[in-house]
A and B are shown apart, each in its own frame.
Chain A
Amino acid sequence: MDNVIPIIFGMAAVTYIPRLLPFLMLTNKEIPKRVDSFLKCIPVAAIGALIVPGVFNSTPDMPVAGIAGILFALVFGLWKGGIIIPVIGAVVVTYSVLFFGV
């Protein structure tokens, strides 16, 4: 495909501009309290939707493997916290379930 490069740059522009505009529009501006509290609710709202329902199908061949991994991350996270161990542990658990084909 030879006409792909202009398309790639077009994609880059429409991806970058929405990522950039808020920084130009909002930073150092006086933001009404309501709007500010809306913006502060965004991370929790976003992360909820980024996890569910995708997480239930993270290993499409055998969904139970991914779910087992995620459960490990959840339980370990609640118990001890941290990021690296829950993530690596989740991969190890998922790998084991896929490997042994429970």
Chain B
Amino acid sequence: MTKEVEQAFKAAIPIFIGYVPAAVAFGILSKGCGITLLQCFLFSAVVFAGASQFIALNLLMTGMGGGGVILTTLLVNFRHFLMSASLSTRVSQMSRRAHVLMAFGVTDEVFSVLSFRKGTLTKRFVFLLELSAYSAWVSGTVAGYILGGFLPDILTKSMGVALYALLLAILVPELKNSIKAVVLAIASGLLNSVLIKLDILPDGWTIIVCILVVALAGTFFMVDDVREEVYG
């Protein structure tokens, strides 16, 4: 049990390092946009979805109406539908209530950590991880709003690399174990680069298309699936 708590906090540290500077930046930006502290807090506390919050601020600044902002948010965050679908197959031992709660915390990073965690996903691990990520995001937002740029600029900039390093560090053991994982991950990254270059899809949808295309390809061309090799 204590081991699990320790593992959850260990897994949360990189998320913390990545979320705090981004959240601080969100707090600072909202203040600059004339958002009140309460509104800024609510953004992070009830939406809890990084990129979409920045996009929403920009859209509000351009004078877009509520309907447009909400629709854009739906599009930007819809990738989490696929992520939750993938996670849902691994939490059947949990109660309905736990599902309803844990769904709120399915961010890109939480999803990545949970997906590649070996063995059963326990309630304790999932909620400790989500709670840590959530507190980093909400407290960073409020700190940024109140304190402004209290982190040295160069440190904030360097911390921008943390979330990518986290995702990569999660992926690497998988890559070492499975050539299929290498192929799928690289294919997905390449496809995403092409789609972004083409610039024909709304924000957030390049990732959705990548997930659908690459996971489908993985299903049809590689019959025995990627994860089974690792999890046995």
Interface residues of A (CB under 8 A from B): 1, 3-12, 14-16, 18-28, 31, 34, 36-55, 58-59, 61, 65-66, 69-70, 73-74, 77-78, 81-84, 86-92, 94-95, 98-99
**Interface size range of chain B in the complex:** 35 or more
A6 to B39, CA, bound (A): 10
Chain B residues with CB under 8 Å of A88's CB are: 14, 17
A89 to chain B: which residues have CB within 8 Å?
Answer: 165
Q: Give Cα A98–Cα B165 distance, bound, in whole angstroms.
A: 17
Known: A19-B80, A61-B157. A45 touches B52 (CB 8 A): no
- Residues on B lying within 8 angstroms of A by beta carbon are 10-11, 13-14, 17-18, 33-35, 38-39, 42-43, 46-49, 52, 56, 60, 66, 69-71, 73-74, 77-89, 91-92, 94, 96, 99-100, 102-104, 106, 108, 111-112, 115-116, 154-155, 157-162, 164-174, 176, 181, 184-193, 196, 206-207, 210-211, 214-216, 218-219, 223, 225-228
Which 7 pairs show the lowest CB-CB distances between chains A and B?
A52-B189, A48-B188, A41-B218, A90-B165, A48-B185, A43-B115, A77-B172
In terms of DSSP, what is the predominant structure of the interface of chain B?
A: helix
Which residues on the B side are within 8 Å of A28 (C-beta)? 92
Query: Do residues A40 and B228 form an inter-chain contact, with CB atoms below 8 A?
Result: yes
The reply to whether B84 and A87 contact each other, CB–CB distance below 8 Å, is: no
Measured CB to CB, the closest approach of chain B to A50, in angstroms, equals 6
List the A side residues contacting B78 at CB < 8 Å: 18
Dominant SS among interface residues on chain A: helix
Q: Which residues of A contact B81 (CB under 8 A)?
A: 18-19, 21-22
CB–CB B42/A23 < 8 A: no
**In whole angstroms, what is the CA distance A96 to B70 when docked?**
40
Question: Most chain-B Cβ atoms within 10 A of its Cβ — which of A50, A83, A84, A92?
Answer: A50
7 further contact pairs, Cβ within 8 A, besides A23-B84, A41-B218, A51-B185:
A18-B81, A20-B104, A47-B170, A49-B189, A51-B167, A61-B157, A73-B164
Check B89–A39 contact: CB distance below 8 A: yes
Closest residue of A by beta carbon distance from B164: A55
Q: Of B84, B108, B167, B188, which one neighbours A45 at CB under 8 angstroms?
A: B188
Tell me whether B170 and A91 are in contact (CB under 8 A): no
For residue A12, which residues in chain B have a CB less than 8 angstroms away from its CB?
46-47
Task: Report which residue of A10, A41, A45 has the largest number of chain B beta carbons within 10 angstroms of its beta carbon.
Answer: A45
Which chain B residue shows the least CB distance to A67?
B161
Measured CB to CB, the closest approach of chain B to A39, in angstroms, equals 5
Indicate if the CB atoms of A66 and B164 lie closer than 8 Å: yes
Contact (Cβ within 8 A) A91 B17 = yes
Distance between Cα atoms of A7 and B111 in the complex (Å): 26
Decide: A41 and B214 in contact? CB cutoff 8 A. yes
- Residue in A47, A59, A81, A98 whose CB lies within 8 Å of B185: A47
Are A70 and B80 in touch, CB under 8 angstroms?
no
Please report the C-alpha to C-alpha distance between residue A24 and residue B211 in the assembled complex, in whole angstroms. Answer: 21
